[in-house]
Amino acid sequence: MKNIIVTGGAGFIGSNFVHWVVENRPGVHVTVLDKLTYAGNLENLAGVPDDRMDFVRGDICDAGLVDGLFAGADAVVHFAAESHNDNSIADPAPFVRTNVEGTFTLLEAARRHDVRFHHISTDEVYGDLALDDPARFTEETPYRPSSPYSSTKASSDLLVRAWVRTYGVRATISNCSNNYGPRQHIEKFIPRQITNVLCGIRPKLYGDGRNVRDWIHTEDHSSAVWAILEGGRIGETYLIGADGERSNIDVLRAILAEMGKAPDDFDWVRDRPGHDRRYAIDPTKLRRELGWRPAHVDFASGLRDTIAWYRDNRPWWEGAKEATEAKYAKQGQ
Ligand code: NAD
Ligand code: TDX
């Protein structure tokens, strides 16, 4: 694999993946295709040498553009999406367009040019688990998405499966749990709370704060995606997770402690409609088949580094803070 296209490579996880490939796979050239929506930022790709990457600003729904790019590619790793649940509740239209129609457009080009396709998805397609349920999601768990966001991701997964079976597209799918790390948009839980503290705003916790997310460092997501791209069986789904289950209130208290604040120095706010209770990934298949292991197993130290990144990179997020909080304020969150 010498030439790969990374869609959504200017976003949080996509840009971390591009940096990972450039650092760890010296023979690979990356073409990033990204629309630069509010969530995309070219600065996320700063430091990538010119001879390792081309950047194309464009929409994954633009069939002509996509077709031209796929003609010269060995593989595509598809991260581009509308990615935030709260936004999908306020306005689902761009989610249907980018996540469903965009994935369809890419699959059609992959079919025409016989390009290896890896689709990035989420554990949210499986719905949620009860807090007291010992079960975790596996590749066999039935799809039961709750939000407009997760239902469009589920739709895109189903399109990929159908294009494999019907047209023989050489595709794999990965469903990953909640990522954290540098360059995550400040609308998301962890960076929102860190930047709230840095701005003197009280952090905001939804509902009763007991909802559980299964956290993984974004670099571990990158290494898992590469392992699947190289060694995954065509047509298969792999769940990616790092045994990182934590309640939201525990994560918030860890942030508060690390940033020198009292444990109750936050506001309880209106719950998210349809809020999934718990996500939990069983990553056995990925570990057994591909020998993948996460490198970031110490959440406290990963969180400390993430806090330091936001402290040290204020210009990266400061411009978006006011608008992001104004949007939440309108929703009572
Ligand atoms: P993000 O919102 O930070 O980045 C999305 C990127 O896609 C942005 O750069 C944006 O400009 C680009 N984009 C959006 N619409 C586009 C379009 N129509 N054409 C081209 N580019 C477009 O998202 P993220 O958190 O980095 O998530 C990346 C992928 O990983 C998504 O597919 C998401 O569903 C999946 N995922 C995310 C998480 C998580 O915890 N954030 C967990 C599991 C899976
Ligand atoms: O201010 C907040 N307060 C709060 O309590 C925010 C923004 C969130 N929350 C809660 C809601 C969730 O239980 O924190 C948890 C995490 O919220 P998000 O960061 O919005 O993530 P989540 O909805 O779990 O979805 C994320 O993981 C799966 C990504 O955004 C998705 O793209 C991915 O598919």
Ligand 1 atom 42: residue of nearest CA = 178
Active-site annotation holds for 140: no
Q: In this predicted structure, what is the pLDDT of residue 168? A: 98
- Tell me what the mean pLDDT of segment 76-101 comes to: 98
Regarding the beta carbon of 3 and ligand 1, being less than 6 Å apart is answered no
What's residue 110's pLDDT?
98
Kindly indicate the confidence band of residue 141, based on its pLDDT and cuts at 50, 70 and 90: very high
Report, as an integer, the average pLDDT of 159-171: 98
pLDDT band of residue 2 (cuts 50, 70, 90) is very high
Tell me the average pLDDT across 7-33.
Answer: 98
Rounded average pLDDT over 128-154? 98
Domains of the chain as residue ranges with CATH: 3-179+216-240 (3.40.50.720)
- C-alpha dist (Å) from residue 250 to 169, 197, 255: 43, 16, 9
Atom of ligand 1 nearest to the CA of 178: 40
Q: What is the pLDDT of residue 185?
A: 98
84 band by pLDDT with thresholds 50, 70 and 90: very high
CA dihedral sign of residues 149, 150, 153, 155: negative
- What is the pLDDT confidence band of residue 24, given thresholds at 50, 70 and 90? very high
Q: What percentage of the chain reaches a pLDDT higher than 70?
A: 100
23 is catalytic: no
Strand partners for 316? none
Q: Is 120 helix (H, G, I), strand (E, B) or coil?
A: strand
Distance 125 CA to ligand 2 centre (A): 14
| Residue pointed to by tokens 């608008």 | 323
Residue nearest to atom 32 of ligand 2 (CA): 83
Q: How many CB atoms lie within 10 A of CB 46?
A: 10
- What pLDDT was estimated at residue 73? 98
Mutate to test the pocket of ligand 1, among 5, 17, 37 (most ligand atoms within 8 A of CB): 37
Task: Please state, rounded to an integer, the average pLDDT across all residues of the chain.
Answer: 98
